[in-house]
Every structure is written in C-alpha cells, then in structure tokens.
A = this chain, B = another copy of it.
Amino acid sequence: MLKDKFRLQIPGPTPIPPRVQQAMSRPMVGHRDPDCSRLVRDLSLRLAPVFGTRNPVLLLAGSGTSALEAAAVNTLSREDEAAVVVTGAFGDRFANILSSMEVTLRRLDIPWGTSCSPEELTAFLKNYPRVKTVFLTYCETSTGVLNPVRELAAVVREQTDALTVVDGVSCIGGVPAGVEDWGIDILVSGSQKALMLPAGLAFAAISDKAWKQIEANPHPRFYLDFRKYRNSLQNATTPFTPTVSLLFGLEEVLNMIEEEGLEATFARHRLMRDMIRAGMRALGLALLTDDRDASPTVTAVRGGDSWSAEALGKELRRLGLRVAGGQQHLKGEIFRIGHMGYADPLDMLTAITAIEVALARLGAPVEPGAGTKAAEEELIHVSSADL
C-alpha cells in the first residue's frame, strides 16, 4: 500500500490545509520589517473574535505549555494560594507548573472522563476563599471532556476575587469562547489543534481585570512576561523573535475561518462529534465521556473485551488512519480520535469505516457498516445550507 499516505486523526497536531502550507512557504521576511509588523498587529486583532475577547490576543513563540506557564507566572508569586481543577493530564500539567513555583496549591481532582460541575467547584472553593488564581481546562485533551468553563468562571467570581485562567489549547477555534463576557480572565491556546497550524505559536487573551494582577505580580519572569508582549504589541511587534512562517500561516487560517464563519465552524465541529459518537455507539463501543461532557474536538473510546485499544491503533495505522492512545492511567485503555481544524464530516465516515475494518480484522464482534450507517444518518439530515 501507499506507505506515506495517512489520515492524521489525532487530537493535535492536526492536518495543515494546503493553502496554509503554501502561505507558510512565502519568502521569509525580517521580523522587524513593516510586513511583519502589519501581520502581528492584524493577527492580534483578528484572533480576538476567535478567543471571544475585546483585547488584542498576545502571540508567543512556544508550545501551548509556554502559555500555560505564562498564565501562572504572570498572575501568582511564591506563597500565593492557587486552585487548579484537574480533569485529566492537562489539568495535571497546570498543577505541575504551579508546583514548580512554590505557590500554595489547592487541587480539585475530578475522575478522568467527567467534567467538573459548578456544584463541585462551589463546594471546593468554599474552603479556599483567598485563592488568587483558579486554573481550568476547557477541553481536556486526554479524555475528550469539555468542561463548562463559562459556568465554572461564574462560580469563581461568586466565591472568590481570583482570576480565572483557562487552558483552551485543544478546542479554541472549534468551540465558542468568551473572555470578558464569560468572566474568564486569561484564555490561552496553541497553534497545532483547531487552529490548523504546526506547533510553535501560543496565544493568550487577557482581560482588563487580569492585567491589574499581572502588573502587580512580583514573580520573576522574562521570556514569558505578558507585559513585554503587550508593550511590544503597542508598537506592532513582539518582544522576542516571532515564528514568522507560522504568522504567514495564521493569516491564511483566519481567512479560512472568516470565510466559513465562526458559527458554521463550531457547527461543523459539533456535527463531527455527533457522527463519531453515533458511529462508536452503534458498533457497541464504550465512550469515555457522557454526551453532556463531550468535546466537539476529541473523542475517547474504551478498548473492548476481546481487543485492546493499542492493537486497534496499530491496525488502523496499517490501514492509513492515525489515532491517539490514552495517557497516564488511561494508557492502553482508550483510543482517542481528534476531529478538529481541517477535518470534515467525510473524514468522520472514513475514520469509522477504518475502525470497522480494523476491528473485524482483530476478530472483534462488530457488524461492519453499522457504525457508518449511524454516523451517515447524522449527516443525511443536515440542511443543504449548512453543508
């Protein structure tokens, strides 16, 4: 078979659209050149609706984790009290970052595969009214849970004076978001998920309330100091060398999102989620999360009695489809299908047919075509205007 042909259906990095790849191949420009300044200024503004913020979005050269750490070191210092809601491996990442800072860490652990409810957060924060920052994960990549961050941010406002920091890495661009309107203070993300770019560009949307705490925060920081980014942005530049090719690509990504329309983009992601879930259910496979908690961008599915998630992943790879395995204690227990960014309903049907074939090849008791049929039904009834 064609060894180099495959469908990348993992929860990031995601496929790069050809027109974005082409844009990234534009001739290099200097990062202090007026062409680059125009890009930095325009992109910061054009990202604002995607993040649901009224302020320009800051652009950092770094992985998503750089923005997570930036949110921590800009809002907290040694001996401050911070709360983190851990619903999976990336909430845990936030906790690890905070542990490295010698802050007093209050940790709310939720079983993996479940979202944190407003009631749980309310009960938890009652014990810690003096926390300065509360860290939430919007989409927990490791489980496919979408936490109700709007409701959770409201709880933070009611119970404390803390800032709400949200990790939006694996969903921003695929789901609605709000900073000021949702009571979120810092929303960070990365380039390699629903934003359809290679990794290397990180984003931070910051509320006015957050800026006050950032200004006053004495924690030592240099590369990740949000103030430097804001000050440079006022001169249409970045404090350190920006990822110029990724900025070329981001311009094209924003063209694509604006052409499709944000609401239509979100609807496409919900449809893909519904197709995958219908398909997996019809095959008798167990989904890790309830419908209520299911992210439009990634779905985790449990292995079966007679087949392991790992064996399935290997067989799918052979057929030309790449999915992800589980992380930490879910390693070997689940497989994860990414459905964000440059993905469409036919990609979901391809993934489901591949899973049907792979399971049959592993001798699993599935009915070929049954999952496909269920997923097709979701697509058949979409109005033509929405295609």
Contacts and interface: CB of A to CB of B under 8 A. Distances in A.
B342 A346 contact: no
A354 interface: yes
Interface stretch (A30-38, A176-184, A303-311, A316-324): A316-324
A216 interface: no
Contact of A376 (B2, B368, B387): B368
A5 B380 contact: no
B376 A356 contact: yes
A329 interface: no
Interface stretch (A43-51, A113-121, A145-153, A256-264): A256-264
A373 B384 contact: no
B361 A354 contact: no
Contacts of A3: 259-260
A88 to B, nearest CB: 28
11 contacts: A1-B268, A1-B345, A2-B256, A3-B259, A3-B260, A5-B17, A346-B354, A350-B353, A356-B376, A357-B376, A372-B372
B4 A19 contact: yes
A366 to B, nearest CB: 10
Contact of A353 (B17, B319, B349, B384): B349
Contacts of A208: none
Interface in A342-387: 342, 344-346, 349-350, 353-354, 356-357, 360-361, 367-370, 372-374, 376-377, 379-380, 384, 386-387
